[in-house]
Amino acid sequence: MQMLIMGKKKISVIIPAYNEEKHIENLLSDLKRQTYKNFEAIVIDDCSTDRTVEIAKKFGIKILASGKHNLSHSRNLGIKASKGDIIVNLDADFRVNKKFLEEIEKTFKDSKVEGVKVSEDLAQDTLLEHSINMVVIPKLSEFLGKAFFMMKI
């Protein structure tokens, strides 16, 4: 799920997962159907004991092993391994509409936007492009060296 598209910012989707075999396929299928193609998806396995990793492998994405069951550690591991200009954190049981990443990239074209927080309902809303809620987070990109998208947990 990684392509290089000239002129568009690359998005890294970070997905920590612990025993998410019931959900991970839905999210990864949603990401595969995105209209925005310049992104990478990274699943960070938090020592799952189910088929989470096996299912994620079917999608040909980067999979990292966190070595411990700790959400913050896993998110940070994914961010460090990411290659994108924009970081999107998603929980493995999340669902997104097909224009989700396209709208995130459009939002970051505004130079005043440093971060965005979106509720789960809004991410699934087919009217996302008309109702995205932006929150400016000053200097975050200087701290991380990347734009950062936060997802409500």
DSSP per residue, 4-40? --TTS--EEEEEEESS-TTTHHHHHHHHHT-S---EE
Its pTM stands at 0.77
Q: Is residue 1 part of a domain?
A: no
119 pLDDT tier (thresholds 50, 70, 90): low
In angstroms, the CA 128 to CA 13 distance is 18
Q: Give the residue-averaged pLDDT of 93-122.
A: 79
Q: Is residue 69's pLDDT more than 80?
A: yes
Q: Is residue 77 part of a domain?
A: yes
DSSP 138: T
Q: Is residue 46 part of a domain?
A: yes
pLDDT in tens, 80-102: 999 999 999 999 998 888 999 99
Question: Looking at the 3D structure of the chain, how many domains does it have?
Answer: 1
Q: Characterize the bridge pairing of strands 115-118 and 62-65.
A: unpaired
Q: Is residue 141 part of a domain?
A: yes
In angstroms, the CA 112 to CA 42 distance is 27
Q: Is residue 136 part of a domain?
A: yes
Percent of the chain with pLDDT over 90: 52
pLDDT of residue 27: 96
Helix (H, G, I), strand (E, B) or coil at 82: coil
Q: Is residue 2 part of a domain?
A: no
pLDDT of residue 128: 38
Q: Is residue 113 part of a domain?
A: yes
For residue 126, what are the domain limits? 11-151
Q: Is residue 4 part of a domain?
A: no
Which of 5-9, 60-64, 110-114 has the lowest average pLDDT?
A: 5-9
Where residue 117 sits, what CATH number does that domain have? 3.90.550.10
pLDDT in tens, 21-66: 999 999 999 999 999 999 999 999 999 999 999 999 999 999 999 9
